[in-house]
Amino acid sequence: MLRKCPAGYYPEVSDKAFIDPTAIVCGRVIIEDNVFVGPYAVIRADEVNASGEMQPVLIKQGSNLQDGVVIHSKAGAEVVVGERTSIAHRSIVHGPCTVGDDVFIGFNSVVFRCHIGDGSVIRHNAVVEGVDLPERSHVPPMTAIAHESDLASVEKVSSEFSSFSESVVSANHVLVEGYKELGDDL
């Protein structure tokens, strides 16, 4: 469901994207080509800052937001999800936040007030808050990174996890095409 927010913004969604009918996309949200938004995902850009302004939530081309993902931002701060990025089931991205290109965020993870570098993999049940995570960082399952000092323990992504991330993006591109072909038969 696409909804206007109280500030008057209505989502801008590419006709080449797929939004599941159970998902809610509200306010100043921009969704580019070949994006998959799965069942029960919620993307809200509906809060303004003290000046009455808000930045958009931008989901760049080829990315996928899987079942139950929540993307929101406090007080009109910007959220950007880069190209070919996968945000897995029930994860939360809360702005202000920038997630780079070719990133994988695993099941139930939370990213908040941070920058996630290109090619990074954040595994399931991890938390990244208030840091600039370098490119190609690997955050193991159930890890919390909330201080610059925590970054010293972060390793680089292995080829195994990079390949997995690419396969998830490919699978979701197939889903976008398949669901678009179904059209009104959903």
Per residue in 34-75, pLDDT tens? 999 999 999 999 999 999 999 999 999 999 999 999 999 989
State the pLDDT at residue 107.
96
Higher-pLDDT residue of 97 and 179 is: 97
CATH number, position 115 = 2.160.10.10
Q: What is the mean pLDDT of residues 87-110?
A: 97
Lowest mean pLDDT among 27-31, 63-67, 107-111, 176-180: 176-180
Q: In the chain, how many domains are there?
A: 1
pLDDT band at 184 (very low <50, low <70, confident <90, very high): low
- Mean model confidence pLDDT for the chain: 93
pLDDT of res. 147: 86
Residues 132-160: tens digit of each pLDDT: 999 999 999 999 999 888 888 899 998 88
Quick check: 136 and 158 in contact, CB under 8 A?
no
What average pLDDT does range 150-175 have in this prediction? 83
Query: In sequence order, which residues have a C-beta less than 8 Å from that of residue 100 and are 6 or more positions away?
Result: 82, 85, 115, 116, 117, 118, 119, 120, 135
**Residue 81 sits in which domain range?**
2-185
Strand (E) or helix (H) holding 72 = strand 70-73
pLDDT score for 175? 85
By CB neighbour count within 10 A (0-12 exposed, 13-18 middle, 19+ buried), where does 140 fall? middle
